[in-house]
Amino acid sequence: MRKKKKDQAYEEIRKLILQRRSTDRFSLSENSLAAEMRMSRTPIREALQRLQTEGFIEIHPNRGVVIPEVSVVEVNETFALRMAVEEFVIREMAPQMSPDNIGEMDLYLARQREAMERNDVLEYLRHDKDFHDLFFRLYANSLIFNTIQRVLDRFYSMGTNVLRRPGSVQRSFAEHCAIADAVRAGDGEKASAAMHAHLITGKNNVLSIPGNIESVV
């Protein structure tokens, strides 16, 4: 039961982050979160520790729970890592995708389309992650998978801000379709190039949004 409560607290607090409540609104103590979610402090504390490990939040004794800012350097370094790893993985996997693998990829694209048509950014973002995760799961390198999960989680909340801009979801979906077309053709080089273009767009979008990035002198 405690594990279930801990997982529930994790999902609810994580949802608050993805919905991007303001920093002031989200600067809450364990007690405040426990009262709001009607739980004891123990599962709240365990959930917060997990979220801090994943980079979603920072816990400060005198400030409570805050959403950390990121720097321009961190954005550039993170997307450089993603490009190196994701482009390599999809280049390797595109020629190896089975019909079942292609079907799973197309399922995530269909769910993205449905979320896009409902203008549901959080739902779209969930299936966006499913789409990217698919190729890592199939590549089956646990070190790469676990590393990239931490990287993606660090920037997940920013994705909601990026995708709320007019036309952003549609552009993201079109880029996913271009990646998928190359994968269906078994063309690893073309799939890698499409992934590169997608990640470049993502990086530029993150850097262009005021309030997403910490000022650097």
What residue ranges do the domains of the chain occupy? 2-66, 70-214
**pLDDT tens sequence across 44-79:** 989 888 888 876 778 887 767 777 776 788 888 889
70-214 CATH: 1.20.120.530
Instruction: State the pLDDT at residue 162.
Output: 77
Q: Which of 82, 77, 46 is nearest to 197 (CA)?
A: 82
Sequence-distant (6+) residues with CB within 8 A of 168 are: 162, 205
What pTM value is reported for the model? 0.75
- In terms of C-beta density within 10 A (0-12 exposed, 13-18 middle, 19 or more buried), how is residue 48 classed? buried
- Strand ranges, E, within the chain: 58-60, 64-66, 70-71, 213-214
Instruction: State the pLDDT at residue 163.
Output: 80
Q: Which two tokens stand for residue 196?
A: 């590169």
Instruction: State the pLDDT at residue 156.
Output: 66
Instruction: State the pLDDT at residue 65.
Output: 76
pLDDT over threshold 80, residue 216: no
pLDDT over threshold 90, residue 131: yes
**pLDDT tens sequence across 132-165:** 999 999 999 999 998 888 777 666 666 677 787 8
Is the model more confident about 108 or about 156? 108
Pair 65, 48: CB distance under 8 Å? yes
Q: Which of 217, 129, 138, 215 is nearest to 172 (CA)?
A: 129
**pLDDT tens sequence across 115-126:** 999 999 888 988
CA angle 152, 155, 156 (to 5 degrees): 80
Separation CA 10–CA 174 (nearest Å): 32
Instruction: State the pLDDT at residue 35.
Output: 85
Q: Which CATH code of 3.30.565.10, 2.60.120.860, 1.10.10.10, 3.60.130.10 fits the domain covering 2-66?
A: 1.10.10.10
**pLDDT tens sequence across 34-45:** 888 888 989 998
Instruction: State the pLDDT at residue 217.
Output: 29
Instruction: State the pLDDT at residue 5.
Output: 85
Is the model more confident about 97 or about 125? 97
Instruction: State the pLDDT at residue 22.
Output: 40
Categorize the per-residue pLDDT at 11 as very low, low, confident or very high, splitting at 50, 70 and 90: confident
CB atoms within 10 A of CB 146: 10
